[in-house]
Amino acid sequence: MPDELVNLTIDGVPVSVPKGTLVIEAAKQAGVLVPHYCYHPGLPVAGVCRMCLVDIEKAPKLQIACATQVAEGMVVRTQSPQAKSGRMGVLELLLINHPLDCPICDQAGECELQDFTFQEGRPATRYSPDYAKRFNPVEDFGPDVLYVPNRCILCTRCVRFMEDVAQEPVLNVSERGDRAYIGIHSDGRLDHPWAGNVVDLCPVGSLLSKDFLHKARAWELDKAASICTGCSQGCNITLDTRENVVVRVRPRPNLEVNRYFICDHGRMNYRWMNRGDRIEAPLVRRGNELHATDWDEVFALVASRLRGAGGTAVALVSPKASTEALYFARELFRGLEWRGAFQMVMGEDAPLAGVPNLALRAERAPNGRGAELLGYSRDYAAAVAAAETASVVLVLDEPDIAVRTAGALIYVGTVLPEGARDAQAVLPIANVAEEDGTFVNRDGRVQRYFQAKAAPGMARPAWWVLSELVATLSNGGGGHIGTAAEAFDRLATSVEAFRGLSYQELGFAGAPAAAVPA
Amino acid sequence: MGYPHKPHPKETVVLSKHFGEADARTYKGWVKRGGYEMLAQALTLEPARVIDVVKESGLRGRGGAGFPTGLKWSFMPKEKKKPHYLCVNADESEPGTFKDREIMRWTPHALLEGAAIAAHAIQAEVAYIYIRGEFTEPWAVMERAVAEATAAGVFGAIKLYLHRGAGAYICGEETALMNSIEGKRGNPRIKPPFPAAAGVFGMPTTINNVETLAAVPLILKKGAAWYKGLSLSSPKSTGTKLFSVCGHVQQPGNYEVTMGFPLKDLLYDLCGGIRPGRTLKACIPGGSSVPILNREETESCLLDYEGVVEKGSMLGSGGVIVFDDSTDMVYQIMRLARFYAHESCAQCTQCREGTAWTTKILERILAGQGKTADLDLLLDLADNMTGKTICVLSDSCAAPVVSGIKKFKQEFEDYIAGRRKPVMVA
């Protein structure tokens, strides 16, 4: 049964929302962002910052939009003189003890206190400069979290996250009145595997990531929607880059997958994206040496090896490769006796207690499910053994290879590991931050990731490299693949599990694979 | 320690009849005085019947808000689906108020009997009596009383527990009190949900003040009409009320008078008037959280819920603070603001920051460094602190500031203009 709808007006815009919706959420539907600090859709309502004061017709006084449920016929005004003056008053009070050290604060540029003050605060304070501001020294809360109490506005998002979402209540509000600050349990550390979320939740620069400390100003960052490669959960993330270098990973809300959060393992899992020792040109074997060449030569060489191959072909692939790359790696051997496998690195599960079905998963790669749907096996050892007698062995970006083969070794990868130096051909590819593509998470959800930075040298997305090889083999039959969208759509028309999906419609939130075997 | 005064002829001693009688504190002594008869009778009545009598009596909450008690009880679910609780607010932390302390010291069983009757009326099996942490003597008396009465089996299936506060003013706010009972930080909760829907431990809860409950056995005994008839004035304010008078009067103390009693008579007759050679300057009639009255307002004020509102203040808890003409009003208001700044729970921005800022401005005015614009700033700040927060602590800080500036502006201006010797405040 559909939810009962309630009709109301917000700043003159009529909206219909399910019964029980909070005014602050209903306002978003009317295109109105009510300024707020303590409210966060992923946390229990606290109603303490009082920033979201709005005028509701027939109410005797201003109401907070975050704790008021909609009612039929309600008329909400966020811009009435009373509401604006109420919020201006809150902003003035929040700033009297705030240091205004924006020039050295990491939050500057993405600070909600800056934004709302700019939007509707007073141009100048009435707090005398003779009065001392509250001072408490910076505290080390945990492996990646610093607390700068002077900037704190006591919204308690961090306290509520640790208490209700992580369910490890190590933070509290200590002291009373204007002496209050966020306290940490005397025996506690902010070292919960999901603790880093408090930094994102903090609306000001009070909780800081040590990893990101003074790395970049917010306005220097470019942002790209991506998918975390840290495990099989498939958390939606944003990759922040500065001058083509990934400097930060932050969660991107997806209510179906990770809500508003990511774990610290995923948050820290980005440095490899900036590796400098990359393969920058296709390499072909001439005698005992690998020589740089162009794409035409390497494609021709690999195609000739494959055409002449009899017997078995083996593909050893990385579960971090895109679904599209895995598809074309499979297509390459169409007609040959084929065995494909991937190696899954395992770790320990670390669930986020307060969110159902959200954990750092033991399987530490993003696309094991995608590889399985395309016919790759988890029996990596058997495939490595079979490689010894295979006529062709294709390795797709698996740096841990220790493969010995009598046949031709084709290495498609981002970096050149020792074990790949015997390859007949080496084809340089982009990493996840440098290409568009999709992963299939453990629940069978197909999700797109977007390019965040440029690939080095001649490196190209693996789906392009492999699809070009397929095209070369068939002398151009089937046409060339120019974009990740074309690659995915090719896959979706030919593999049952992906049938009916379109790259376009996957959008930023993804969609379940059509037929996911249990 | 005995009770300091014999009743004045103008007092109507109902609640305080046995104040000073050591024997009344014991179970036996209380029974001898007719105690627990009404509880025994009430337990045989339908809860709704008890509620009707209390509604009919016009009894209103004596903690400060003056909400009709019977009506409050009737908000509890009629059909009981979850455990119900009664909370007794014995935190009495409002500056200037010390009536509940005397009820607990002298007539603990009156409170226990009233609490048990209330628990029956709202179908609660458990009552928590939350006693202010600093009340060491009342605590000992109450502990003994609960033990004796429980041993005597008068409460039937109802269990009464004492819970001791730890010294926070805000724990007298009903939802903060509930958090405190639950072992949480004493922060007021956002409402709704109201306690009758989700109170202590998330269960339907009613919370009443000590004085309110102590009156209940008497109402049952003598009838709603008798209680109503005690009023001298408005039919909306019935019965008697204990007023705690402190400050510049000759005989401070607790005085029980009927609703509608003139404040002037309370101060000049019952309390013996202002100190010799001094005249009345101002009065806070209902505990530190209510607006200040000037002399004219005080002398024409009738002590009931409506009468005090008419003069621009509130009856509140009945804590009457008297100031004579030697009083530095600016200093007094600063002291009040400093109290609220110290006690703010720090949840709401306006309260956490506003109470402290208000105090700083007042301290600076006292130090002779104030500016004329400071008065407008104080008023604007007070406006920001009124009606915008979870509880009324910040409103309570604003009330004396606004009324003080309005009624005693000259004193503020004297400090600002340097006509008055600066006061260094530590």
Residue that finishes a domain, picked among B288, B305, B324? B324
CA A370 centroid distance within chain:
18
At A176, which amino acid appears? R
Q: pLDDT of B394-408, one tens digit each?
A: 999 999 999 999 999
* Residue spans of beta strands (DSSP E) within A210-304: 222-227, 236-242, 245-251, 283-286, 289-292
Please indicate, yes or no, whether residues B293 and B333 belong to a single structural domain of this protein: no
Please indicate, yes or no, whether residues B102 and B160 belong to a single structural domain of this protein: yes
Nearest Cα of chain B lies from the Cα of A122 at a distance, in angstroms, of 14
Q: What percent of chain B has pLDDT over 70?
A: 100
Q: How far apart are CA A198 and CA B102, in angstroms?
A: 49
Please indicate, yes or no, whether residues B247 and B314 belong to a single structural domain of this protein: yes
- Tell me the domain boundaries of chain A: 5-93, 100-107+122-274, 283-512
* Interface probe with B: pick from A36, A37, A39, A48, most Cβ of B within 10 Å: A48
At B318, which amino acid appears? G
Given an 8 Å threshold on Cβ–Cβ distance, is B388 in contact with A89? yes
pLDDT reported for residue A309: 76
Instruction: Please report which confidence band the pLDDT of residue B2 belongs to, taking 50, 70 and 90 as the band edges.
Output: low
Residue of chain A nearest B357, judged by CA positions: A127
The domain defined by A100-107+122-274 carries CATH number 3.40.630.10: no
Residues of B in contact with A92 (CB under 8 A): 384
Q: pLDDT of A210-228, one tens digit each?
A: 999 999 999 999 999 999 9
Please indicate, yes or no, whether residues B111 and B142 belong to a single structural domain of this protein: yes
Residues of B in contact with A96 (CB under 8 A): 353, 357
> In the predicted model, what is the mean pLDDT of chain A?
95
Q: How far apart are CA B376 and CA B378, in angstroms?
A: 5
pLDDT reported for residue A475: 85
User: Which DSSP category does B274 fall into?
Assistant: B
Q: What is the CATH number of the domain that holds B337?
A: 1.20.1440.230
For A139-149, what is the mean pLDDT?
97
Q: State yes or no: pLDDT of A365 exceeds 60.
A: yes
Residue that finishes a domain, picked among B185, B200, B229? B229
One CATH from 3.40.50.300, 3.40.50.150, 3.30.1370.60, 3.40.50.740 for A283-512: 3.40.50.740
Q: Look at residues B377, B99, B331 and name the one whose alpha carbon lies nearest to residue B214.
A: B99
Given an 8 Å threshold on Cβ–Cβ distance, is B349 in contact with A61? no
Please indicate, yes or no, whether residues B319 and B337 belong to a single structural domain of this protein: no
Whether a cis peptide bond, with omega within 30° of 0, leads into A149 is no
**Do A100-107+122-274 and A283-512 fold alike per CATH?**
no
Given an 8 Å threshold on Cβ–Cβ distance, is A178 in contact with B352? yes
At B13, which amino acid appears? V
* Interface probe with B: pick from A93, A122, A172, most Cβ of B within 10 Å: A93
Q: State yes or no: pLDDT of B426 exceeds 80.
A: no
Q: State yes or no: pLDDT of A267 exceeds 90.
A: yes
Nearest Cα of chain A lies from the Cα of B283 at a distance, in angstroms, of 27
Q: State yes or no: pLDDT of A94 exceeds 70.
A: yes
Residue at B145 is within a domain: yes
Q: pLDDT of A405-444, one tens digit each?
A: 889 999 999 999 988 888 999 999 999 999 999 999 999 9
Please indicate, yes or no, whether residues B103 and B159 belong to a single structural domain of this protein: yes
Into how many domains does chain B fold? 3
Region class of A31: left (phi > 0), else alpha (psi between -120 and 50), else beta = left
Question: Do residues B16 and B101 make contact, with C-beta atoms less than 8 angstroms apart?
Answer: no
Residue that finishes a domain, picked among B295, B324, B353? B324
Q: What is the CATH number of the domain that holds B93?
A: 3.40.50.11540
One CATH from 3.10.20.740, 2.40.50.140, 3.40.640.10, 3.30.565.10 for A5-93: 3.10.20.740
Distance of CA A214 to CAs A210, A249, B60, B236, B323, Å? 9, 15, 60, 65, 57
Residue at B5 is within a domain: no
Answer whether A408 touches B (CB < 8 Å): no
Residue at B193 is within a domain: yes
For B95-105, what is the mean pLDDT?
96
pLDDT reported for residue B53: 97
Residue at B251 is within a domain: yes
Q: What is the CATH number of the domain that holds B313?
A: 3.10.20.600
Q: Which of A31-45, A116-130, A304-318, B218-232 has the highest mean pLDDT?
A: A31-45
For B181-193, what is the mean pLDDT?
96
pLDDT reported for residue A2: 62
Residue at B9 is within a domain: no
Find the chain B residues whose C-beta atoms sit closer than 8 A to any C-beta of A: 168, 185, 190, 341-350, 352-357, 360, 364, 369, 377, 383-384, 387-390
For A491-498, what is the mean pLDDT?
94
Please indicate, yes or no, whether residues B266 and B399 belong to a single structural domain of this protein: no
Q: pLDDT of B354-385, one tens digit each?
A: 999 999 999 999 999 999 999 999 999 999 99
* Interface probe with B: pick from A176, A179, A204, most Cβ of B within 10 Å: A176
Please indicate, yes or no, whether residues B73 and B150 belong to a single structural domain of this protein: yes
Please indicate, yes or no, whether residues B65 and B141 belong to a single structural domain of this protein: yes
Q: State yes or no: pLDDT of A308 exceeds 60.
A: yes
Q: State yes or no: pLDDT of A517 exceeds 60.
A: no
Place of tokens 């979850």: B82
- Structural domain span for residue B340: 329-417
Q: How far apart are CA A368 and CA A10, in angstroms?
A: 46
Q: pLDDT of B13-68, one tens digit each?
A: 999 999 999 999 999 999 999 999 999 999 999 999 999 999 999 999 999 889 99
Please indicate, yes or no, whether residues B183 and B69 belong to a single structural domain of this protein: yes
Please indicate, yes or no, whether residues B317 and B333 belong to a single structural domain of this protein: no
Q: How far apart are CA A298 and CA A275, in angstroms?
A: 24
Q: State yes or no: pLDDT of A136 exceeds 50.
A: yes
Q: By CB neighbour count within 10 A (0-12 exposed, 13-18 middle, 19+ buried), where does B232 fall?
A: middle
For A194-208, what is the mean pLDDT?
98
Please indicate, yes or no, whether residues B92 and B222 belong to a single structural domain of this protein: yes
For A236-265, what is the mean pLDDT?
98
CA A305 centroid distance within chain:
39
Q: pLDDT of A186-200, one tens digit each?
A: 999 999 999 999 999
Nearest Cα of chain A lies from the Cα of B350 at a distance, in angstroms, of 6
Instruction: Please report which confidence band the pLDDT of residue A518 belongs to, taking 50, 70 and 90 as the band edges.
Output: very low
